[in-house]
Amino acid sequence: MSNPDHPPAVGVLDQGPELIFPPGFLWGAATAAYQIEGAATEGGRTPSIWDTFSHTEGRVVAGHTGDVACDHYHRMPSDVRLMAELGLKSYRFSVSWPRVQPGGSGPANAAGLDFYRRLVDELLGHGIEPWLTLYHWDLPQPLEDAGGWPARDTAGRFADYAELVADALGDRVTYWTTLNEPWCSAFLGYGSGVHAPGRSDGADAVRAGHHLMLGHGLAVQALRASRPEAQLGITVNLYPVTPASDAPADVDAARRIDALANRFFLDPVLRGSYPTDLAADLREVTDFGHVRDGDLAVISTPLDLVGVNYYSRHVVAAPVEGAEPEPYWRAPSCWPGSEDVRFVTRGVPVTDMNWEIDTPGLTETLRRVHEEYSDLPLYVTENGSAFVDAVVDGQVDDVDRLAYFDAHLRAAHEAINAGVPLRGYFAWSLMDNFEWAWGYTKRFGMVWIDYDSQARIPKSSARWYAEVIRRNGLAAQ
Ligand code: FCB
Mean pLDDT by 10 residues, the chain (477 residues): 39 60 98 99 98 98 98 99 98 99 97 98 98 99 98 98 98 98 98 97 98 99 97 98 97 97 99 98 97 99 99 92 64 90 92 97 99 98 98 98 98 98 99 98 98 98 98 90
Cβ of 187 closer than 6 Å to ligand 1, yes or no, is no
**Cα–Cα dist 458/84, whole Å:** 13
pLDDT for res 8: 38
pLDDT for res 453: 98
- 114: helix, coil or strand? helix
**Residue (of 255, 337, 295) closest to 156 by Cα position:** 295
Cβ of 381 closer than 6 Å to ligand 1, yes or no, is no
CB under 8 Å to 395, separation ≥6 — which residues?
Answer: 457, 460
Cβ of 363 closer than 6 Å to ligand 1, yes or no, is no
**Residue (of 185, 274, 175) closest to 236 by Cα position:** 185
Q: How far is the CA of 394 from the centre of ligand 1 (A)?
A: 27
82-85 contacts at long range (C-beta below 8 A, 24 or more positions apart): 82/447, 82/456, 82/458, 83/29, 83/123, 83/126, 83/128, 83/430, 84/126, 84/127, 84/128, 85/458, 85/466
Q: How far is CA 398 from the centre of its chain?
A: 23
Cβ of 88 closer than 6 Å to ligand 1, yes or no, is no
392 φ/ψ angles, rounded to the nearest 5 degrees: -125, 120
Helix (H) or strand (E) holding 469: helix 460-471
Nearest protein Cα to ligand 1, atom 4: 435
Q: Which of 436, 441, 446 most suits a substitution to test ligand 1, by most atoms within 8 Å of the C-beta?
A: 436
Helix (H) or strand (E) holding 124: helix 110-125
pLDDT for res 11: 37
Is pTM beyond 0.85 here?
yes
CB atoms within 10 A of CB 284: 10
pLDDT for res 319: 85
pLDDT for res 331: 83
**Cα–Cα dist 103/89, whole Å:** 34
Write the single-letter amino acid at 450.
D
Helix (H) or strand (E) holding 144: helix 141-145
The answer to whether the beta carbons of residues 268 and 291 sit under 8 Å apart is: no
Nearest protein Cα to ligand 1, atom 10: 435
The answer to whether the beta carbons of residues 216 and 176 sit under 8 Å apart is: no
pLDDT digits (tens, 9 = 90+) for 312-324: 999 999 988 776 6
Distance set, CA 475 to CA 16, 267, 358 (Å): 10, 38, 21
Q: Which of 133, 234, 353, 382 most suits a substitution to test ligand 1, by most atoms within 8 Å of the C-beta?
A: 382
The three-point CA angle 326-180-276 to 5° equals 70
Cβ of 383 closer than 6 Å to ligand 1, yes or no, is no
The answer to whether the beta carbons of residues 437 and 194 sit under 8 Å apart is: yes
**Cα–Cα dist 399/172, whole Å:** 37
Asked if 181 is an active-site residue, the reply is yes
Cβ of 435 closer than 6 Å to ligand 1, yes or no, is yes
**Cα–Cα dist 320/331, whole Å:** 15
Nearest protein Cα to ligand 1, atom 9: 32
Q: How far is the CA of 213 from the centre of ligand 1 (A)?
A: 19
CATH number of 18-472: 3.20.20.80
Spatial strand order in the sheet of 342-343: 241-243, 314-317, 342-343
Q: Which of 181, 356, 414, 435 is catalytic?
A: 181
**Cα–Cα dist 32/49, whole Å:** 15
Q: What is the DSSP letter of 104?
A: G
Q: How far is the CA of 328 from the centre of ligand 1 (A)?
A: 13
- For the chain, give the longest Cα–Cα distance: 62
Domain boundaries along the sequence of the chain = 18-472
- 257: helix, coil or strand? helix
pLDDT for res 9: 39
Cβ of 53 closer than 6 Å to ligand 1, yes or no, is no
Write the single-letter amino acid at 108.
A
Closest atom of ligand 1 to 181 CA is 8
The answer to whether the beta carbons of residues 213 and 219 sit under 8 Å apart is: no
Q: How far is the CA of 234 from the centre of ligand 1 (A)?
A: 15
467 φ/ψ angles, rounded to the nearest 5 degrees: -70, -40
Asked if 382 is an active-site residue, the reply is yes
Closest atom of ligand 1 to 435 CA is 10
Q: How far is the CA of 427 from the centre of ligand 1 (A)?
A: 11
Cβ of 436 closer than 6 Å to ligand 1, yes or no, is yes
Q: How far is the CA of 9 from the centre of ligand 1 (A)?
A: 31
pLDDT for res 1: 34
Helix (H) or strand (E) holding 20: strand 19-20
